[in-house]
Every structure is written in structure tokens, then in C-alpha cells.
Structure 1
Amino acid sequence: MEKLDRITINPNICLGQPTIRGMRITVGFILKLLASNLSIQQIIESYPELEVEDIQQALNYAAWSVSEQLIHVRSA
């Protein structure tokens, strides 16, 4: 797994969801912004406390999280 030093999990912040550097900006929120076709630059302009590396690590975290999950599908 890549270094994810900007992703923090604290049960007292955002109900323990993964956040960026302990801020109240969750990885999920960043992913939703990207899925809404906002560019990294647009996100940073809207949330100047974020940095490009924050968004890149959010994507890396999501990719690793999803790749660790197994979904069992019953054959027809």
C-alpha cells in the first residue's frame, strides 16, 4: 500500500470516517466531488485548505479500500 499519511481516522471526527488531515472533509466527500465532474483544481479553489496531495491520497485510499473487498456473486 502506498503512503497515506494525510488520511486520518478519528472516532471523534465525522463519526470515524476517513478524513483529510483530521479536518472535517471526508474521503467520501472528495470522491463525490470528483464523481460530479469537478476537477482537482476546482475542488482546491472551492476548498483552499486542501492540497493536490490530499486529493491524490483520497483516491489512493479509495482504490485500496475497494480492492480489499470481496463480493460473492451467486452463479445463475
Structure 2
Amino acid sequence: MTLAGFPRIAVDPAICGGRPIVAGTRMPVSDILEMLVGGANVDEIVADFPYLSEDDARAALDYAASSGI
């Protein structure tokens, strides 16, 4: 189920223990945040995970900023 206001972010208790993920993937928002904190930029993340788009990575960051994670 995608989250209200965040159509690219989903939560499903059967996937990744219910942690927020990029919709349609098993990529947790927290993993994207960890990569960004570790110094990766959005272009590098998309290159390493071709099933993600720049919009997916930015949506994860927007979700984290608004939810306080």
C-alpha cells in the first residue's frame, strides 16, 4: 500500500518487515538514506540499482524528511 502523499513509497507487512520501501521494489527507504549519508549521490544510487529512478531516490529523501526518520 502506498502512503498518502508519497505515491512512490509503500509499506507492506509482508515485505522488509513492514519498513517503508520504494513502491514496486524491495528497496527500503532506510537503505537509500544510508547510502546518501555514506557519501553516495542520487546518480550513483541509480547507477548501482537500475530498477530505481532519480524520482524514487528523491521520494525516499522527501519521505524521510517529512516523517522524521
Provide TM-score, normalisation by structure 1.
Answer: 0.81
Map 1:1-76 onto structure 2 (within 5 A). Answer: 3-66=5-68
Cα distance in structure 2, aligned partners of 1:11 and 1:17: 8
| Matched position secondary structure for 1:23 | coil
Runs of 4+ in 1 over 4 A off after TM superposition: none
Cα distance in structure 2, aligned partners of 1:7 and 1:57: 7
Q: Percent identity?
A: 35
Provide TM-score, normalisation by structure 2.
Answer: 0.89
* Larger strand fraction of residues: 2
Greater gyration radius: 1
In structure 1, list runs of 5 or more residues that go unmatched. Answer: 68-76
CA deviations on 1:9-31 (whole Å, 9 max, x unpaired) are: 00000000000013110000000
After TM superposition, give the deviation of residue 3 of structure 1 in Å: 3.1
Amino acid aligned to 1:4 = F
Q: How many residues align?
A: 66
